[in-house]
Amino acid sequence: MRWFSLCLCLTASPVAACETALLLMIDVSNSIDQAEYRLQTDGLADALIDPEVSEALVRGQVALSVVQWSGVEDQEVSLPWTQMRGPAEVQAFSARARGMIRAFVLSDTAPAEALDFALDHLDAAPACARRIIDISGDGTANAGSDVRRIPREAERRGVTINGIAIEGMGRAITNFYRRAIITRDGFVITAMGHREYPDAIRRKILREVARIFG
């Protein structure tokens, strides 16, 4: 019996560790119309099944979740934590992201409350080596509390905040994200309009999960 138990221990496959818990946050505030919302969800879905991204997600056994956010009391977990253990999980998560129903309409932009919600939601994630919040938006705060307190709180909890700034003209949103949203180890990618969002989210996720820098 001891020999049989030893054989089981030696032949069992080790459980792969989760390298990154990545929380993807989509802005659905009043400035986002339905076509722009669809560009975000389709862009996210397409990014996940990009061969390079998909491979990195599976290799790192990455855990993903999606939250839609807007006003002070408007945050929703649209897709709960799911670990990307193989290509089938990536394909299924992508399909669910593409089919997400918009959670809120005609609502303000309150990134502080959204990020408070995100930090609490990360507590429910699988045990992973890194924890990252990936927040996108096309506006500065017009509701809620001061967001500048959030990066320090995230750092205290061991969380990185990165951003996608969706610009209309100029770099006002990018500067706001750099100044008030991201952590000191975070970064911002700029999309010049919602039509650049799909490429931006692909590059951003790949940089986060494949540890590609520069």
Q: Span 10-38, mean pLDDT?
A: 83
With helix as H, strand as E and coil as C, how does 95-158 read?
A: HHHHCCCCCCCCCCCCHHHHHHHHHHHHCCCCCEEEEEEEEEECCCCCCCCCHHHHHHHHHHCC
Return the structure tokens found at 195.
């039509």
Return the structure tokens found at 177.
């994200």
107, part of any domain? yes
Q: Span 23-51, mean pLDDT?
A: 95
28, part of any domain? yes
Query: What is Dmax (Cα atoms) for the chain?
Result: 72
Residue 214: pLDDT over 80: no
104, part of any domain? yes
123, part of any domain? yes
Phi, psi of 69 (to 5 degrees): -145, 155
6, part of any domain? no
For the chain, how many structural domains are there in total? 1
Q: Residue 101's closest CA among 72, 68, 144, 59?
A: 68
Q: Scan for tokens 């000191």, then name that residue.
A: 184
168, part of any domain? yes
Q: Return d(Cα 113, Cα 143) in angstroms, integer.
A: 9
Residue 1's pLDDT is what?
Answer: 45
The CATH number that applies at residue 42 is 3.40.50.410
Regarding predicted confidence, which is higher, 16 or 126?
126
Domain coverage including residue 193: 17-210
Return the structure tokens found at 100.
């997400």
Residue 118: pLDDT over 90: yes
* pLDDT tier at 170, thresholds 50, 70, 90: confident
8, part of any domain? no
Residue 35: pLDDT over 70: yes
Return the structure tokens found at 112.
């502080």
Q: Return d(Cα 161, Cα 204) in angstroms, integer.
A: 12
Task: Tell whether pTM > 0.85.
Answer: yes
Q: Which residues contact 92 (CB under 8 A, 6 or more apart)?
A: none
75, part of any domain? yes
Return the structure tokens found at 179.
């100044």
